[in-house]
Structure 1
């Protein structure tokens, strides 16, 4: 389901503010709009996505089912792996997968941007395949460092696992043909090459001819004003993303700085004006130095919705 809005063009909605009545008119999708899990809408990313608000706005506007694939604290590499876009070459304990039960994963590659070779601060469990055998990839945080392991879904004969065997996440398999937002890089912004590699891998993993994806810009924190090292890293990464995906890049950072307060109905404070002068998102739109308020999430959702409508996105 989509709305004919011939008066709205990409030039009119990208980088420009719009009135509340215009947004309301654009997102007024009939209540009969519906989808199935196979034809829904996915948001892929880290904690900025896990917060969920912007995806709910988009899904409500189109009548789509929303799959929030955000996991707090993850780097772009971890996101790309669990989505199935970046398979890992691994070695396992004893070079053997038992007939049942877990096998310890000793090493993985690429390990750069996979936080200290795979260790994360939180336990996790993802559907995955090792050498094509379905199972679960798990981090056991009771160990120091945390222990990575793979457990096959169905018992069977023990299998030899040569060094460098492929471990692939399968979370994204159900969403490769669906509209999707990709918001990664905040947690490993210093590794620009890895961030760009991971975004490329995610896009390449989508179904052929699925051009219904938006790559969101990386946003700077309240501690990263213009001129800082972090700001420079973010600016360079965003420029590279925009150059690679000019028709699929959504500069939420720029929009929040230029129009976020007005769209949220907030009056700028002195702190907001100081932030804007340093090319930071106004602090009224942040709930901490990195993450956004519910109001800011709604602004992002409306911005993404209008751009999707201008692109004539619809469920297939």
Structure 2
């Protein structure tokens, strides 16, 4: 008799567990096949940098001497950088959501751990490894991951992309091709836009991409930085003409929001060797001068009280 009662209790418990499991799975299916998180997480305010390797502070001898870190120290504010070394302005605009990015999921499923994906365009192609940007794929929050270098250091941007979800998704079926949604939690942060160094030979494209980025961000507090001239880009070269044209157009459009980066560092000539670590990137001294100029422009342009 006792054994019979025990069996009944176990049976009832099993039914309860089965009912709860079925309810949970049904809720997932109703929500579209995976755990969803459509509310973008909030962060403390700070300054956002959008750009390429120049915005990353490439060229400094140590991380603490990079322009973003120096700028954060001068302003006593957190700095967030959305940038990819070697990227042109169109790719950067897509990275921050100014242009749509589609993503193909070859397996047709979003599972726990890293899942192979194929973004179009490939927004993290360029230089550097362990690159990541926060995104939503089919409503699932996580990170888009990409390496640009093979083991040993050989550059190969064609390496695969992966998506790593924040939470378990049970391998529920996802659309094989879907639009990738970028993290917009910092879209209202005061923003510094510095693009065009890698495609200044198409000034009209850079100007268009900058306007798209400005349309995408949700703040009136933004600064557009001009492209600097490096080695072999002196007067008489096509590079000099293109950069000069691009900067003059940006200055005409954005007026007081434009920062003449070239004048800050050297005037109209190329940035001197004493401020560069290579043909174009700034060394520790150049990074320090740049950070001070950007901080001065920010303090003179914005009331940062609401951004702290």
Shorter-chain TM-score above 0.5: yes
Bigger mean CA deviation after superposition, 280-289 or 57-66:
57-66
Find the residue that maps to 2:207 and give its secondary structure.
helix
How far apart are 1:119 and its partner, in Å? 4.2
Report the counterpart of residue 51 of structure 2 in structure 1.
45
| Partner Cα distance (2:209, 2:202) in 1 | 11
Corresponding position of 1:271: none
User: TM-score under structure 2 normalisation?
Assistant: 0.69
CA gap 1:90/1:292 in 2 versus in 1, 3 angstroms: same
**TM-score with structure 1 setting the length:** 0.68
Equivalent residue number for residue 193 of structure 2: 182
Q: Are the equivalent residues in 2 in contact too, given 1:38–1:174 (CA < 8 A)? A: no
Give, in angstroms, the shift of residue 121 of structure 1: 4.2
User: Aligned partners of 1:174 and 1:280: how far apart in 2?
Assistant: 37
- Correspondence for 1:261: none
Deviation at 1:247? 2.4
Matched, 1:300 2:306: no
8 A contact 2:85–2:126 mirrored in 1: no
Shift of 1:47: 1.8
With over 3 angstroms needed to count, the CA separation of the structure-2 counterparts of 1:55 and 1:127, relative to structure 1, is: closer
Report if the CA contact (8 A) 2:87-2:125 is conserved: no
Q: Which residue of 1 aligns with 2:247?
A: 238
Q: Is the 8 A contact 1:40 1:315 kept in 2?
A: no
Segments of structure 2 that go 5 or more residues without pairing to the other structure are 1-41, 58-64
RMSD of aligned alpha carbons? 2.9
1:56-71 to 2 correspondence within 5 Å? Answer: 56-71=69-84
The structure having more radius of gyration, on CA atoms, is 2
Structure 1 residues 107 and 205, CA gap change in structure 2 (3 angstroms): closer
The reply to whether residue 80 of structure 1 matches residue 60 of structure 2 is: no
1:62-109 Cα deviation digits (max 9, x unpaired): 332333444433333343333344331233325x23343444334614
Q: 1:149 aligns with which of 156, 162, 166?
A: 162
Q: Residue 256 in 1 paired to residue 265 in 2?
A: yes
Count how many residue pairs are aligned between Structure 1 and Structure 2. 250
Residue 305 of structure 2: SS of its match in structure 1? coil
Q: 1:314 to 1:230 in 2, by over 3 A?
A: same
**Pick aligned residue for 1:198 from 206, 209, 217:** 209
Tell me, in whole angstroms, the C-alpha distance in 2 between the residues paired with 1:142 and 1:293: 27
Contact 1:90 1:105 in 2 (8 A): yes
